């Protein structure tokens, strides 16, 4: 953790030369806090690492959103900005994150902390926790949203791509939840929102083998986590959207093909946010937004497996392309 703090401090110093003067001052303050905390931990090596700072009674609550710079993550950031004291946005694209943070600050008048970070990098979660500690923040709401898709059948993508998906969409949300949940439990309040997918509820989805498996993991993880924390004051929910109008399919290179889908299959990000906001106020652990998506989820659950597999295979042949 000490090495992570010092690494973050050096990284903030380098980044400060490419931002505005106002932002540079904030980065320098964060850099100083990281380096000071590293020095304190070096002087007292027996102390619990930076997580101690997250347990500070004076720490301010924040909402942490991963994959926040575009698509569903950006829409959720706007939603949570309306009811959060501090918003922490994490994504790889620093320039996009900076402009997004400034826009949210100006619009809603809250403190927004952009953290440009590749969560697939070694020790990325440790670095994120160190920066939260240096900022004097504890995570009251965790939104595990970071992710990406892979085009084509399982053997069509490389192991490096698949390993990256497992790291970002399984290990990172699991590690963040494990590190941040104890403080929520201690305070008797918190919220964990795992952005899964309708794909995680559909058996045998050709062309989406690893993606659907990863999303199924997030759904089961959320269900068990909710059961373990029932009555604790901690809200756990898996959000399982179907097709949403974002840049997701354009990035995959399948947008033109996916436009063949009838409009009733699609949601806008605003519609998705409305469903999410209502869902978080309720008690449902697995939320499938959209009436058509709910019908699909019900069919996948109650149809004989052979029929469900045949339907998903037929759908994939019609609307998904092989590389």
Q: 217 catalytic, yes or no?
A: no
Distance (Å) of CA 94 to CA 65, 68, 70, 269, 300: 14, 11, 12, 22, 40
Burial of 321 (0-12, 13-18, 19+ CB in 10 A): middle
For residue 323, give every residue at least 6 positions away whose Cβ sits within 8 Å of its Cβ, in sequence order, or none: 151, 152, 156
CA angle 131, 180, 92 (to 5 degrees): 45
Please pick, among 211, 217, 243, 302, the residue that the annotation labels catalytic. 211
CB atoms within 10 A of CB 171: 14
Structure letter (DSSP) for residue 59: P
Please report, for the chain, how many H helices and E strands are present, in that order: 14, 9
Closest CA to 258 of 155, 151, 164, 148: 151
CB atoms within 10 A of CB 245: 15
Q: Which residues are known to be catalytic?
A: 211
């Amino acid at each position: 953790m000490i090495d992570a703090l010092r690494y973050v401090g050096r990284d903030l110093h380098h980044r400060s030369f490419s931002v505005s003067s106002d932002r540079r001052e904030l980065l320098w303050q964060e850099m100083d806090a990281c380096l000071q905390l590293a020095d304190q931990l070096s002087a007292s090596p027996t102390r619990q690492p930076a997580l101690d700072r997250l347990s500070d009674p004076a720490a301010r609550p924040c909402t942490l959103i991963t994959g926040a710079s575009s698509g569903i993550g950006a829409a959720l950031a706007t939603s949570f900005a309306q009811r959060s004291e501090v918003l922490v946005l994490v994504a790889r694209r620093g320039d996009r994150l900076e402009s997004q943070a400034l826009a949210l600050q100006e619009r809603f008048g809250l403190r927004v902390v952009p953290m440009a970070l590749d969560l697939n990098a070694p020790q990325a979660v440790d670095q994120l926790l160190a920066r939260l500690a240096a900022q004097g923040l504890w995570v009251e709401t965790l939104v595990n949203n970071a992710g990406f898709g892979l085009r084509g059948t399982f053997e069509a993508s490389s192991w490096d791509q698949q390993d990256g998906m497992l790291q970002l969409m399984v290990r990172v949300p699991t590690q963040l939840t494990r590190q941040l949940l104890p403080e929520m439990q201690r305070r008797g309040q918190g919220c964990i929102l795992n952005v899964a997918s309708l794909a995680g509820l559909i058996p045998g989805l050709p062309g989406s083998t690893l993606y659907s498996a990863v999303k199924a993991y997030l759904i089961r993880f959320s269900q068990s986590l909710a059961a373990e924390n029932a009555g604790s004051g901690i809200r756990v929910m898996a959000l399982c959207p179907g097709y949403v109008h974002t840049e997701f399919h354009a990035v995959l290179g399948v947008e033109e093909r996916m436009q063949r889908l009838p409009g009733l299959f699609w949601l806008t990000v605003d519609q998705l946010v409305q469903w999410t906001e209502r869902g978080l106020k309720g008690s449902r652990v697995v939320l499938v937004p959209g009436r058509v998506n709910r019908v699909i989820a019900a069919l996948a659950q109650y149809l004989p497996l052979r029929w469900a597999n045949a339907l998903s295979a037929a759908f994939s042949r019609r609307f998904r392309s092989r590389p």
